[in-house]
Amino acid sequence: MPEKDDPRVRLDKWLYAARFYKTRTIAAQAIESGRARVDDQRVKPSCAVKAGTRITLSKDSLVWKVEVTAVSDKRGPASEAARLYCESPESASVREEEIAKRKAAGRERATDFGSPHQARPTQTTFVLRKELISALKYPSNIAGSRSRG
């Protein structure tokens, strides 16, 4: 049997091997829903990819625009998976900006007292809130409300 000069792999297998998705099934679902496209066109999970193919991936409002540099249908370590593709600098910078915005928004939410998205209260804040409510209900006990023993 002659060897293939132009190796090709199914898109769902390649996305799994390149560690964009944890399972082949999730990769296939992303392809079928249009979140993974080849050359800006919707394709089937069985679409064959080869070196030089351009793939666009969307996950949680983050977008990767990558070019296939090598093909593999076996999932390996992350260091090997990173060699399977090359991300465009524009795509990487836009994605990093979006991640930075999310982190900043997360910090704002965690420090915004009374926000519905604030971090879970600690035991100390729970006790302090309880004491505040008690002090508002019974103002005469404000001076010596906390006793440690």
**What is the reported pLDDT for 113?**
54
Domain 9-140: homologous superfamily in CATH: RNA-binding S4 domain (3.10.290.10)
Q: How many C-beta atoms surround the C-beta of residue 69 within 10 A?
A: 13
Count of helices and strands (H, E) across the chain: 5, 6
Return the SS3 of 37. strand
Return the SS3 of 129. helix
Give the span between the Cα atoms of 57 and 87, in whole angstroms: 11
Q: Is the dihedral of CA 47, 50, 51, 53 positive or negative?
A: negative
Give me the mean pLDDT over the 64-84 stretch.
Answer: 93
Domains of the chain, residue spans: 9-140
Give me the mean pLDDT over the 21-49 stretch.
Answer: 94
Give the span between the Cα atoms of 100 and 98, in whole angstroms: 5
Query: What are 77-101's pLDDT values in tens digits?
Result: 999 999 999 999 999 999 999 999 8
Residue type, 36: A
Q: Is the pLDDT of residue 48 over 70?
A: yes
